[in-house]
Amino acid sequence: MNVGFLPRPSFLTAEAQRFAHAFVSRRFSGVFIRGVPPHKKKTRQRIKTENAERRIIREVNILNQKMAALIEFETERLRLRQWIKSDREPFARLNADPRVMEFFPSILDRAASDAMLDRLQTLINERGWGFWAVESKQDNQFIGFVGLHIPSADLPFSPCVEIGWRLAFDYWGKGYATEAAQAALKVGFNRLELPEIVSFTAINNHRSSAVMERLGMNREIETFEHPSLPVGHFLKEHCLYRLSREKWRSSNSSGRDNS
């Protein structure tokens, strides 16, 4: 089972019984059990179905526990952690900076920025991973976010897990995005066991494309139109980058570490 492509753990547990029952009912409906008297066929089939349900529920709950455990980690210069209250003010400044938001549809006001922070924080609480807040170890200052995310938009290559970043302008040009993203890839491939991680951006966002290439990602030849943007929008055409776990591990001598 691919943890990156499953529903959020917050309702995996709540829906496990219905999910398992629906899955097994489809699988075993109409099964003819040879050699079993007609009045006992239903009992035998029900036992088989219940055993399968219990097995699926057990697997789902194990996955739920694995995904919900909070993941935080460090690099040489950075901490990637859960969001905290003091991140709100610098995050709002970042989201209101036209330089940072050049390749996004618009800047965000304080209410929209706080709402985004709340969503990112909630997703990490539910999954254990996501777009982590990034903090400089040198001065303990919040500098932006980097991490992994399941896009909500109906993209041509969905379902997928993407890697993304957004850093305050003062911290550009220092290699922080690449450093943090390399660590996030390690989490995605080793701890979450994702088979592939993607990244995408507007075709004229050359800075982000350069980071994707430094991460060893491969650009697809064909571009795509982002479904969340209106027809004719100058950011609608996007490029897609992919990186498989096999390629990442072959390119990283320490790639098989469990950190």
Q: What is the reported pTM?
A: 0.74
Write the pLDDT tens digit of every residue in 28-46. 443 333 344 555 555 666 6
pLDDT class of 166 with cuts at 50, 70, 90: very high
The predicted pLDDT at position 228 comes to: 95
Q: Select the more confidently predicted residue: 54 or 222.
A: 222
- Full 3-state SS string of the chain: CCHHHCCCHHHHHHHHHHHHHHHHHHHHCCCCCCCCCHHHHHHHHHHHHHHHHHHHHHHHHHHHHHHHCCCCEECCCEEEECCCHHHHHHHHHHHCCCCCCCCCCCCCCHHHHHHHHHHHHHHHHHHCCCEEEEEECCCCCEEEEEEEECCCCCCCCCCCCEEEEEECHHHCCCCHHHHHHHHHHHHHHHHCCCCEEEEEEECCCHHHHHHHHHCCCEECCCCEECCCCCCCCCCCEEEEEEEEHHHHHHHCCCCCCCC
